[in-house]
Amino acid sequence: MKNNHKGLQLTAWMLSMLGLFWLAGQPPAAAQENKKGIDMKKGERVLFFDDRYVEEMKELTRVMHPAVKHAGNPVLKADKPWEVSDRKAGIGIVHVYGTVRKEGDLFKIWYQVYPRSGKLYWVCYATSKDGIHWEKPALDLIEYNRLKRGEFTEEEVKGNNIVLINCGRPGATMACSPTISVDPDEPDPNRRYKMLFWDFGVRYYEPGQYMGGCVAFSPDGIRWTPYPGNPVLVASDVTDATWDPVERRYIAHFKLYQLLTEAADPARPVEMEKPAEFFLVGRKKPTQEKDTILAEAYFLDTTLQQVTLETRTLRNCRRISDRRIVARAESKDFINWTNYRAAIIPDRLDAANQQTYGMSAFRYEGLYVGLLRIMTGQSIDIQLAYSNDGADWQRCFDRTSFIPCGAAGGWDAGMVLTASEPVLVGEELWFYYGGWQKQHHEWGETSIGIAKLRRDGFVSLDAGEKEGELLTRPVTVSGPRLKVNAAAAGGAVAAEVLDESGRVIPGYGRKECRPVAADTTAGELTWAGNRNLSALAGRKVRVRFFLKQAHLYSFWQGE
């Protein structure tokens, strides 16, 4: 997104946040809970972001795997008049600050275009049979009078695929960063599809003109009706929402700004009337006289739900700066949002010029995975985060890029910004992303590409020639088959099953095990006589895996 903020300016100096997150180089230990056991639902795969299911490991290395970019990228480019942002320069922008879904045999994408050099943000819709070759249907759903602000002639926008342009309120200007959720159990058929997006007024920096997170509803994902009570979410831009089918709630993640201060006299704290740690956006450049600073912004209270536009005085303050952080909220009905809280704040493992520029998060198997946008200087790429409950987030132990920017001069060299969640295609996860030629402070061509990952392939436990072992925490046997996702061609993955006291259960020893010795996303471990876990149904057990020349991505109990 082009940076139009005119408020508090980020300086090279930043203060570190201490003690907010686990900061070591390995995942947090679960040793204090190891003896208690843990629920393991039938069919739900166990991944290895942390030691939640692990009691002990020997000679294994935990490895994060970046997604691999599709050789045919980009797969969707600007080729319509309304997708050209700067017509003089011929700069086209199609960007997936949005969602891609596969419904039946059809891929659907809701993507972003930026008419008039980013002064307007519109939502467009396209479909594909293979996820690679896309068709932009001629919908003409929005009357020309409402599209004129894009400075297009009526002829130029004939046959357009635009589905939403703003929240419908007077003075509204955009539908920015739209994400789509689908609730198949929604009793109102006209609200089955739900969109969260961000909008603001024409006079954005004037009192009362700040809007925020808005929603719209649709029976089919094409014909949208904005909610008349917009805005519903207190948020800065870059909004993402996901439907959690297990907890039956919507979770939103969005960007806020954290106010940072440096005391003129380090022996005394900075004094601020009506103290506030976070704000939505600054309205004017701060003014300073000696060690007193006046800052005007849309400040948030401690609940993050009440916004006040006002000037606040900071005394004993040498300077202030700000940085972007990720916050979250949740809702049962997509309209009333509660449980606001900071989700991820840059910590001392981040470089001084790094910020968190929003996060797309989604439920995956038994946890939540976050595609965390890391802004380094003016470039943005993707790192991984995860949560076991959707509220308390951890950064991945390996902070290298999950989806990096491309080579200098390439179509995605400047920034990478992902869709709200991946699409499972066969045994691969496809991550659609918008690639920017230029960086955040520049204006350049933008297209949409794909990065692919083996199913469950975020993190693996790896063994080389020396055999490694993984002992699980106690789990209750809920499925008859022990399945593994492993790359073991030229090696092997075997297992034995132990009772609660740690003794091998007769018939389930390592010697009786028939190992997996192939590269498979759904291998099955059995024992002599084609024995599986059926005889152990309902018992609490531990499983000890043995790996040699193998990568283990996940395991689960299946049918």
46 forms beta bridges with 555
Confidence of residue 116 (pLDDT cuts 50, 70, 90): confident
The arithmetic mean of pLDDT across residues 326-340, rounded, is 97
Model pTM score? 0.92
Q: What is the DSSP letter of 140?
A: -
Average pLDDT across the chain, whole number: 90
Cα separation, 98 vs 102, in Å, equals 14
Contact between residue 117 and residue 185 where contact means Cβ atoms under 8 Å apart? no
What distance in Å separates the CA atoms of residue 266 and residue 246, rounded to the nearest whole number?
49
For the chain, the straight-line distance linking the first and the last C-alpha, in angstroms and rounded, comes to: 45
Residue 261 contacts residue 270 (beta carbons within 8 Å): yes
Distance CA 374, CA 356 (A): 5
Residue 335 pLDDT more than 70?
yes
Helix (H) or strand (E) holding 197: strand 193-199
Render pLDDT for 1-37 as a digit per residue (tens, 0 to 9).
Answer: 333 333 333 332 233 332 333 333 344 444 444 456 6
**What confidence tier does 374 reach under pLDDT thresholds 50, 70, 90?**
very high
CA distances from residue 107 to 44, 104, 129, 134, 305 in whole angstroms, order as listed: 25, 8, 6, 9, 36
Task: Tell me the C-alpha distance between 187 and 438, whole Å.
Answer: 44
Whether pLDDT at 429 is above 90: yes
Give the separation between CA 455 and CA 423, rounded to whole angstroms. Answer: 10
CB 366 within 8 A of CB 44: yes
Query: Do residues 447 and 74 lie in contact, with contact meaning Cβ atoms separated by under 8 Å?
Result: yes
d(CA 52, CA 216): 38
pLDDT score recorded for residue 207 = 55
- Please indicate whether residue 137 or residue 20 has the higher confidence score (pLDDT): 137
Look at the alpha carbons of 26, 27, 29, 35 in this order and tell me if their dihedral is positive or negative.
negative
Q: What is the pLDDT of residue 36?
A: 60
SS3 category, 81: helix
Percentage of the chain exceeding pLDDT 90 = 78
Distance set, CA 351 to CA 356, 377, 381, 382 (Å)? 11, 10, 14, 15
Confidence category of residue 210, pLDDT binned at 50, 70, 90: low
162-171, 197-206, 382-391: the lowest-pLDDT one: 197-206
Q: Which residues contact 32 (CB under 8 A, 6 or more apart)?
A: none
- Tokens 């703003």, residue? 166
**Which domains are delineated in the chain?**
31-65+460-558 (2.60.120.260), 68-259+320-456 (2.115.10.20)
Distance CA 65, CA 73 (A): 20
